[in-house]
Amino acid sequence: MKQAKIVGTGSYLPQKILTNFDLQNMVETSDEWIVTRTGIHERRLAQENEFTSTMGLAAAKKAIDDAQKIPQDIDCIIVATLTPDYIFPSTACLIQHALGINGPAFDMQAACSGYIYGLSIAKAFVENGQYKNVLIVASEKLSSIVDYSDRTTCVVFGDGAAACVVSLEGKGLSIDSVKLGASGEYADLLILPGGGCRHPATHETVDQKMHYLRMKGNEVFKHAIRNMESAVRECLADLHLEESNIDWLIPHQANKRIIDALAKRFSHLSEEKVVQNVISKYGNTSASSIGIALDELRKEGKVQHHEKIVFTAFGAGFTWGAAIVTNQK
């Protein structure tokens, strides 16, 4: 049976650090409140000349290298982002040009679930033989849509990028099962109201701060835990596995309390088997967070042969998803 694998990973974080103490000088908040409520200590911010495409390109080059391939081996590019350089053309086309390659390239928007949605598409493409080496890039310049005078959102989000190469050939993580979900009835709970065709940019939309993301954080919170857990259970059922077969859990790095609540539902996993340091260092990087966490975990060399990793994510839409991969060295 043809089996898609993640054969290379990469990530990129901008150098500039925004700490909780910096935020204390910008809005009415405290390091203690942010750490207790979110687990975040600091996040990265892109410079003015860094964009979703340039950060994504940097991550993509590392992933291609890690896969022991060259850019010309890539025959399809999928970019998951909710902060594209432009509404059009796609960020994927900009990255394709920067890599100097041909083939289809498109953006795909599933908010924080983008990496897992991307894995599902890439798996289908390589397993049905349409493309050989699909590059997934998840990249976000969330600082471009965050209102740094709104304490309920500005403490949460950060910038960063991740990428992976999905292929049939080579060593890596076999993508055993992917399950996706969505529920548009909750669209208003996490939304960028301005800039689309419903509210194109006008002086009024700018005055009303409609080009900044808006989030009902506590509502999002409840839905996130429930849907991430059920997506993981769907993957387990799909593969006829038990919870105890999971060796590692990489939840979307949205909030340490969400991660902890999810970890309690998979209580056989010890604390070090649930990835949670990424939220502390980088904040919520939306589509990029799972890819960054996966890249760091792989580079630390901790994942043993045949161990299974579960990814699960949740984001605006609402969208959610989970995937189970197995390390095949």
| Token duo for residue 315 | 């984001």
Residue 252 is a catalytic residue: yes
For residues 118 and 76, is the Cβ–Cβ distance under 8 A?
no
Minimal distance, residue 282 CB to ligand COA, in Å: 14
Which of the stretches 52-60, 100-108, 235-243, 250-258 binds ligand COA when contact is defined by CB under 6 A?
Answer: 250-258
Query: Which residue in the list 20, 93, 133, 252 is annotated as catalytic?
Result: 252
Q: Closer CB to ligand COA, residue 76 or residue 274?
A: 274
Which position among 20, 38, 53, 54 is part of the footprint of ligand COA (CB under 6 A)? 38
Which of the stretches 48-56, 231-239, 252-260, 297-305 binds ligand COA when contact is defined by CB under 6 A?
Answer: 252-260
- The answer to the question of residue 224 lying near ligand COA (CB under 6 A) is yes
Query: Which residue in the list 133, 255, 284, 327 is annotated as catalytic?
Result: 284
Which position among 31, 65, 217, 245 is part of the footprint of ligand COA (CB under 6 A)? 217
Please, is 258 exposed, middle or buried when counting C-beta atoms within 10 Å of its C-beta (0-12, 13-18, 19+)?
buried
- The answer to the question of residue 29 lying near ligand COA (CB under 6 A) is yes
Query: Which residue in the list 20, 76, 93, 112 is annotated as catalytic?
Result: 112
Residue 284 is a catalytic residue: yes
Which of the stretches 31-39, 45-53, 74-82, 163-171 binds ligand COA when contact is defined by CB under 6 A?
Answer: 31-39
Q: Closer CB to ligand COA, residue 43 or residue 298?
A: 43
**Span 264-323, contacts to ligand COA by CB under 6 A:** 284, 314-315
Which of the stretches 95-103, 211-219, 225-233, 319-327 binds ligand COA when contact is defined by CB under 6 A?
Answer: 211-219
Q: Please choose, from the candidates 70, 90, 93, the residue with its C-alpha nearest in 3D space to the C-alpha of residue 81.
A: 90
Chain centroid to CA 297: 15
Q: Closer CB to ligand COA, residue 125 or residue 212?
A: 212
CA–CA dist 303, 13 (Å, integer): 22
Can you name the residues that pair with 18 across neighbouring β-strands? Answer: 43
Residue 203 is a catalytic residue: no
Q: Which residues are catalytic?
A: 112, 252, 284
Residues that bind ligand COA (CB under 6 A): 29, 33-34, 37-38, 112, 151-152, 155-156, 215, 217-218, 220-221, 224, 254-255, 258, 284, 314-315
